Amino acid sequence: MTDAALPLQPDAASAERPRTQSTLTRVVHYTGLRMIAMFITIMIGVYLTILIANMGGHVDKIRRGYIREQVAISVGFNEEFKNMTSEERRAHIDKLVALQEKRMGLDQPFLLRSFSFLWGAMTLDLGWADNMSSDSGSRMVRNIILERLPATLLLFSTSFMLNFLVGIFVALYLSRNYGSRLDRAIVGLAPTSAAPSWFYGLFFILLFAALLGWFPFGGLVSAPPPDSIVNYALSVLNHMVLPVIAIFFSSIFLGIYGQRTFFLIFSHEDYVDMARAKGLSDRVVERRYIMRPTMPTIVTSLALSIIGLWFGSIVLETIFNWPGLGRLLYLASNIFETSVIVGSTVVYAYLLGITVFFLDIVYALIDPRVKVGGNQGGQA
Amino acid sequence: MSKKRFTFLAVLLIAALLFAACGGGDTEMAEEPAAPAQEEQAAEDTEEAAAAEEESEEAAAAEEEEEAAAMSERTGAWVDEVIAIEEPSAAAAVTRMDLAEIDAYAFSISDAEVYATVQGMDSLTYSNSFGVYAELTFNPAGPIFDGTGKLNPFAVPRIREAMNYLVDRDFISQEIYGGLASPRYMAITNAFPDYARLVDIVRQLELEYAHNPDKAAEIINEEMEALGAELVDGVWNYEDEPVEVIFLIRTEDERKEIGDYVSTMLEDLGFSVVRDYKTASEASPIWIGTDPNEGQFHIYTGGWITTAISRDQAGNFDFFYTNRGLPFPLWQAYSPSEEFDAMSEKLDLRDFTTMEERRELFGDVLALSMQDSVRVWLVNQLGFSAYRGDVSVSTDLAGGLNGARLWPYTLRRTGEEGGTLTIAMPSMLPEPWNPVAGTNWIYDTMLIRATADVGAMPDPFTGLQWPQRIDRAEVTVKEGLPVGSTHDWVTLTFAEQIDVPEDAWLDWDAVEQQFITVGDLHPDGLTANVKSVVYYPGDLSELSWHDGSPLSLADVVLGMITTFDLAKEESAVFDEAQVPSLNNFQSHFRGYRIAQTSPLVIEYYSDQYTLDAELNVANFFPGTPWHTMAVGLLAEAAGDLAFSSDKADANEVEWMSYIAGPSIEILEGHLESAAADGNIPYVSTLGDFISGAEADARWANLSAWYEDKGHFWVGNGPFYLEEAFTTEKTVQLIRVENFPDASSKWEGFDTPMIAEVAIDGPARVASGDEATFEVMIDFGGDAYAVADIDEVKYLVFDALGELALTGTAEAVEDGLWQITLSAEDTAGLESGANKLEVAVAPLRVSIPTFSSLEFVTTN
């Protein structure tokens, strides 16, 4: 038996080597293809963004009109130019307009510029803004975005983590206590998430800032900002309370409801019943038989939500006067500052691409049913 | 992660938020009073209390005296600190002001609901401003558009003129603007001086073009039929198709409602109106960018803004009604009558020699502009700046609080000195600050003004200037030019010819770094229309910059140099964007001359002039020291930074910021090298004005300043910039303790003395009898001084509504004027109800006040 089995060892070993090479090749092949596909997708997405943000070149027309209007009005109403003849004034306006158009690159056709935008975007050279400056005064798109990023990340990651942690914790609790009063209450409150966070924001401002005076109306920090780091941090936290609660209230009940339903479905699978029948403790069942198969979904949701923080929230940031990316993008859209819009989208596209790419790998790590590449991948 | 950890984290986060909410809040604004304890003690022993009371009264009196003495000795700003913050919402700002979170809102609010809210709050007050106006812009191309082959009724001047009768300006003012507007009929603003100068002509025209929809319909019907259109079932048709009117309606403000209102009026007349709602940026390419003959629009809801009082609006007709106004297709389509065109140009070029001649010309042009009506003016919008009731501050009649140059000199908590005031503004710090071509954002400019002193201070109520760092000025004007003066700090004289001295500086040699004189460029001599001589007080070095450096003549001369050097191609700091400005400047500039250095006297020669001698005074008092300018110039010359956004974009370098951002580190590097070298900019010229020791001292001062503040913004205003928090959108300004002027210097400029007028007189006047009417003029209950009144005009409209009489009232005493209608005057009036309208034009404000009284004439 043993002897008979022994000759199989070398064969088994020799049979395993090509299988190992095959897996590596398969992974490399799969990874390479995914990266290329991802790059092409990002490129197409970015170019479409360039076209859309510039309205296919129509923005040039708008900008030209705007430049002429602004220059003409500033010259027309300036006492300095009163003594010019109308011809001189016109020539002066034309010169100023030409200068502005040259500065904004409007002296070149849009199609040509669109490819130069694309090249810059794909190489992450976000370039210079035409009409916007960063808070500190820099015209580099990178600085404009990066200076606003911390405020957005701080606000939305705090809200998100609060939502995520409270959501998971309460959802698990409810899935164990299905039909309880709390469960029914959460289900009943779920429709309140139909109201957006800014609605709660307005309500909370009225209540807690205007009426009770407990919290500030908005802004990042009190004015003037405190000197010490501790006081500064406390002041920021104080200013974060209302927006964080607004975001929390706008999504927590629906989030809990969704996750609790999700856990309930998984907790009624046959293998969970089997585990319970085997006498495993609730904690073990929850951790090994309910949580684990839900991990890919939770991780996906977590990852996409985290990169979703990138854009902030236009309305919420506006009503709370929060100096984040949402307000920045809103301002950029209003003044047709396409470089900032495209810059933000490019970074988001890269983040999304990278996240999706790594999620494929993470799935294979956390879910044994998933394999990377080949026909077997993805079969449950 | 375990359940416990989840719980712990969640609880920790909530606890942190709650802790922050309780502990990190702003400090309380007021403390609990301790009065009850004192009352109890007083009840125990009345004698002691009486003695104590006496003592406390004495102490209080002494304290008051001390305070009064201290207040009279206080210099510079009234408050110790100003915190500027961002608050985009006017409604939120008003609530926050009511809660004493902020003290003033630097924005001209035009929302009627917010206006009503502020009026209903005891804690707040406000001041009005008048610089915004709305109109209907017509496309005059056609009558058949080349682009569409469709009819354009507004190509016909009479139809455009009829639109004046069609729109009800009172309705627009009261209903659409909720009372925050007043009717406007023509191209001049009723809050600016020309309106008062021409009030009789203007009122007559306003009466003539009053709302009369029947007359409008009659004229439009007549003209439409003449165009070949036909009214079919109440709809105008042209070549069997409905006559379509494309109405570009702006959506951001009340112009949306105006567009809807006018559209409805036009639809009632039988036009098919296409309401094309657009934002500014969407509408601009159409109304400005397209050829009017393409027919992409018929009417546009236009809006204009003036941020400073304009004392001469004569150029408005050339700008708004002729093709000389702007080089845009729409303007090129304007074809005013020959007479109107010629007169507008004459008025614009100031081709008149007396004010009377100007008045006659103005009157004719006003009437012709109404007949042309490529624009139908609708309303003067009233804005208001709100602030807490216990705050007093100067606000500009055109620009509001944010437009007032005097705000940092007058802002205070009424009756108090010191303390901190918080000013909110809708938006701040969007662009870098630098002294050459930095931000021109209106709210940042407001803050910058607090940090830089001026030679002459613009009057927020009249648009004239008052001396701030000027002792006196002499203005000499070429004979025949209609220039007058109001204030006695300016001496106005006329000369047959003004010769520019040959040693006056006229241009700049960027290679040699020296001025080029008039003698070099014009050996045969050069003349000018205006010569201004400004006498600066005392010794400049008695004044100092915020970093402690004394002012010097070099600060003045550097400003003169950079005017030229930045626009010279040979210069190391050449900036193409500066060329058009220099070209414009040189088109009228005829020379500077430093006539005397101590006290400083500077002569300035120019061909440009204005109607007021005060505005012809050219002052060169610097707002930026030469050494901070020099740091920027070094960075610019090295190609590290650029003063203007144009050059920054072209060279792909940062737009220079003296207050924050990546520029600071670069400027720091140049400061270090300049300090090490003892740099003197433009040494070939400024070497005569700056000694090596002075240069070293300046660099040491700037280094210490930068070390302390972390920025390069050094000025000489009543406040210095402590810090600009660019992400937090907060600016902290601190009072300059050694500012040379008394804080009370600009007292009286916090409230515009808009006259309050009442008329008293007989209700019934027999035709052929003399009648006397009294005009009472006061301000806040005090009689308005006769010396402060320019003119009191009266107009009598007879029973038919025609202007029957005009004249001027006679001054009796302060606050009292008299109008006498002679027997001959009353005999000429029709029997029935007449209206006596009085227009009072004060000298202290540009806004005239109107009042009227009805009386009946009987036979």
Q: What is the CATH number of the domain that holds B800?
A: 2.60.40.1930
* Single-letter amino acid code for the residue at A315: V
| Residue pair B276/B238 in contact by the 8 Å Cβ criterion | no
- Spell out the SS3 assignment of B552-566: CHHHHHHHHHHHHHC
Which one of A135, A169, A321 has the shortest CB-CB distance to B10? A169
Which residues of chain A make contact with B579, given a CB cutoff of 8 A?
A: 95
B87 belongs to a structural domain:
yes
| Residue pair B600/B586 in contact by the 8 Å Cβ criterion | no
**Integer angstrom CA distances of residue B691 from A310, B489, B549, B694:** 55, 34, 14, 5
Partner-chain contact A237 B729, CB within 8 Å: no
Find which of B85, B321, B728, B732 to mutate to test the A interface (most A CBs within 10 Å of its CB).
Answer: B728
Residues B474 and B584 in one domain: yes
Which residues of chain B make contact with A217, given a CB cutoff of 8 A?
A: 87, 92, 95-96, 101
Which residues of chain B make contact with A165, given a CB cutoff of 8 A?
A: 6, 9-10, 13
The DSSP code for B752 is: -
Which one of B88, B281, B732 has the shortest CB-CB distance to A66? B281
Find which of B251, B322, B727, B731 to mutate to test the A interface (most A CBs within 10 Å of its CB).
Answer: B727
Partner-chain contact B661 A72, CB within 8 Å: no
Instruction: Count Cβ atoms within 10 A of the Cβ of residue B122 and give its class: 0-12 exposed, 13-18 middle, 19 or more buried.
Output: exposed
The Cβ of residue B169 has, within 10 Å, a number of other Cβ atoms equal to 22
Written as six digits, the tokens of A178 are 């299905």
**In the prediction, which pLDDT does B450 show?**
96
Q: How far is B206 from chain A (nearest CA, A)?
A: 25
Residue B528 phi/psi, 5-degree rounding, is -140, 160
Chain A's closest residue to B8, CA to CA, is A165
Q: How far is A335 from chain B (nearest CA, A)?
A: 8
What's the pTM?
A: 0.79
Residues B632 and B652 in one domain: yes
B484-542: pLDDT as tens digits: 888 899 999 999 999 999 999 999 999 999 999 999 999 999 999 999 999 998 888 88
Residues B230 and B348 in one domain: yes
**In the prediction, which pLDDT does A175 show?**
84
| Residue pair B840/B789 in contact by the 8 Å Cβ criterion | yes
Partner-chain contact B16 A237, CB within 8 Å: yes
B847 belongs to a structural domain:
yes
Which residues of chain A make contact with B281, given a CB cutoff of 8 A?
A: 62, 65-66, 334-336
Domain hosting B418: range is 81-128+383-425
Helix, strand and coil percent figures for chain B, each rounded to 5: 35, 25, 35
Concatenate the DSSP letters of all residues of B151-211 into one string. Answer: B-GGGSHHHHHHHHHHS-HHHIIIIISTTSEEE--SSS-TTSHHHHHTHHHHHHHHHHTS-
B610 to chain A, any CB pair closer than 8 A? The answer is yes
Q: Examine the fold and report which residue of B657, B684, B716 is the final residue of a domain before the chain moves on.
A: B716
How many CA atoms are closer than 13 Å to the CA of A25, on its beta-carbon side? Answer: 6
B32 belongs to a structural domain:
no
B28 to chain A, any CB pair closer than 8 A? The answer is no
Q: Examine the fold and report which residue of B716, B745, B778 is the final residue of a domain before the chain moves on.
A: B716
Residues B337 and B396 in one domain: no
**In the prediction, which pLDDT does A276 show?**
83
Residues 34-63 of B with CB under 8 A from A: none
Cα(B54)–Cα(B156) distance, integer angstroms: 83
Written as six digits, the tokens of B695 are 């240069």
B75 belongs to a structural domain:
no
Give the contacts of B854 (CB within 8 A, at least 6 positions apart). Answer: B763, B833, B834, B835, B836
Residues B372 and B513 in one domain: no
Cα(B708)–Cα(B694) distance, integer angstroms: 21
Cα(B632)–Cα(B436) distance, integer angstroms: 9
Q: How many domains does chain B have?
A: 4
Q: How far is A127 from chain B (nearest CA, A)?
A: 9
Q: How far is B101 from chain A (nearest CA, A)?
A: 9
Which residues of chain B make contact with A85, given a CB cutoff of 8 A?
A: 349
Chain A's closest residue to B87, CA to CA, is A321
Q: How far is B647 from chain A (nearest CA, A)?
A: 8
The DSSP code for B786 is: G
Which residues of chain B make contact with A104, given a CB cutoff of 8 A?
A: 649
B466 belongs to a structural domain:
yes
The DSSP code for A194 is: G
Residues B106 and B182 in one domain: no
Q: Which residue do the tokens 């990278």 mark?
A: A354
The 3-state DSSP class for residue A291 equals helix
Which one of A80, A81, A223 has the shortest CB-CB distance to B85? A223
| Residue pair B177/B362 in contact by the 8 Å Cβ criterion | no
B9 to chain A, any CB pair closer than 8 A? The answer is yes
B422 to chain A, any CB pair closer than 8 A? The answer is yes
Cα B687 vs. chain centroid, distance in angstroms?
A: 39
| Residue pair B191/B846 in contact by the 8 Å Cβ criterion | yes
Residues B212 and B315 in one domain: yes
* Single-letter amino acid code for the residue at B792: V
Written as six digits, the tokens of A185 are 């209450």
Radius of gyration of chain B (CA): 31
Give the contacts of B97 (CB within 8 A, at least 6 positions apart). Answer: B103, B104, B105, B123, B124, B386, B387, B388
B526 belongs to a structural domain:
yes
Give the contacts of B264 (CB within 8 A, at least 6 positions apart). Answer: none
**Integer angstrom CA distances of residue B838 from A30, B792, B807, B849:** 90, 7, 10, 8
Segment holding A16, helix H or strand E: helix A8-53
Chain B's closest residue to A104, CA to CA, is B649
Residues B256 and B178 in one domain: yes
Which one of B326, B432, B646 has the shortest CB-CB distance to A93? B326
Which one of A205, A217, A323 has the shortest CB-CB distance to B727? A323
Q: How far is A379 from chain B (nearest CA, A)?
A: 28
B86 to chain A, any CB pair closer than 8 A? The answer is yes
Which stretches of chain B score pLDDT less than 50?
1-50
**In the prediction, which pLDDT does B226 show?**
93
Q: Which residue do the tokens 């609708």 mark?
A: B378
Per-residue confidence in pLDDT tens, chain A, 380 aa = 333 333 344 444 444 444 555 667 777 777 788 888 888 888 888 888 888 877 777 777 777 777 877 787 777 666 667 666 667 777 788 888 888 787 777 878 888 888 888 887 787 777 788 778 888 888 888 888 888 888 888 898 888 889 888 988 898 888 888 888 888 888 888 888 888 888 899 999 999 998 888 999 988 999 889 988 999 999 999 999 999 999 998 888 988 888 888 888 888 888 888 888 888 888 888 778 887 777 778 888 777 777 776 666 788 888 898 888 888 888 888 777 888 888 888 888 888 888 888 887 777 777 666 666 555 443 33
Cα(B665)–Cα(B654) distance, integer angstroms: 12
B326 to chain A, any CB pair closer than 8 A? The answer is yes
B31 belongs to a structural domain:
no
B651 to chain A, any CB pair closer than 8 A? The answer is no
Which residues of chain B make contact with A245, given a CB cutoff of 8 A?
A: 17
Residues 550-579 of B with CB under 8 A from A: 576-577, 579
* Single-letter amino acid code for the residue at A317: E
Radius of gyration of chain A (CA): 29
Partner-chain contact A64 B289, CB within 8 Å: yes
Q: Which of B77, B26, B84, B79 is nearest to B732 (CA)?
A: B84
**In the prediction, which pLDDT does B517 show?**
96
Partner-chain contact B326 A90, CB within 8 Å: yes
Residues B116 and B136 in one domain: no
Residues B661 and B761 in one domain: no
| Residue pair B165/B211 in contact by the 8 Å Cβ criterion | yes
Which one of A88, A136, A217 has the shortest CB-CB distance to B587? A88
- Distance from first CA to last CA of chain A, Å, rounded? 36
The DSSP code for A225 is: P
Q: Which residue do the tokens 């303390």 mark?
A: B419
For B359-382, give one letter per residue: b (16+ CB within 10 A) or e: bebbbbbbbbbbebbbbbbbbbbb
Which residues of chain B make contact with A324, given a CB cutoff of 8 A?
A: none
Q: Which residue do the tokens 């027997």 mark?
A: B823
Written as six digits, the tokens of B283 are 């509408």
Q: Which of B846, B844, B837 is nearest to B789 (CA)?
A: B844
Cα(B403)–Cα(B130) distance, integer angstroms: 12
Which residues of chain A make contact with B585, given a CB cutoff of 8 A?
A: 80
**In the prediction, which pLDDT does B61 show?**
59
| Residue pair B535/B471 in contact by the 8 Å Cβ criterion | yes
**In the prediction, which pLDDT does B588 show?**
85
Residues B402 and B499 in one domain: no
Give the domain ranges of chain A.
Answer: 148-200+245-334
Give the contacts of B308 (CB within 8 A, at least 6 positions apart). Answer: B131, B396, B398, B399, B403, B458, B463
Chain B's closest residue to A292, CA to CA, is B1
Partner-chain contact B655 A135, CB within 8 Å: no
Chain A's closest residue to B94, CA to CA, is A210
Say whether the ipTM exceeds 0.85. Answer: no
B734 belongs to a structural domain:
no
Residue B318 sits in a domain whose CATH number is 3.10.105.10
Which residues of chain A make contact with B327, given a CB cutoff of 8 A?
A: 72, 90, 93-94
Which residues of chain A make contact with B430, given a CB cutoff of 8 A?
A: 132-133
Cα(B717)–Cα(B730) distance, integer angstroms: 19
Chain A's closest residue to B731, CA to CA, is A224
Partner-chain contact B729 A217, CB within 8 Å: no
Chain A's closest residue to B23, CA to CA, is A234
Partner-chain contact A86 B318, CB within 8 Å: yes
A–B CB contacts, 8 A cutoff, strictly below: 226
Partner-chain contact B654 A162, CB within 8 Å: no
Q: Examine the fold and report which residue of B716, B745, B775 is the final residue of a domain before the chain moves on.
A: B716
The 3-state DSSP class for residue B602 equals strand
B754 to chain A, any CB pair closer than 8 A? The answer is no
Which residues of chain A make contact with B576, given a CB cutoff of 8 A?
A: 99
B803-835: pLDDT as tens digits: 888 899 999 999 999 999 999 999 888 888 999
Find which of B649, B723, B734 to mutate to test the A interface (most A CBs within 10 Å of its CB).
Answer: B649
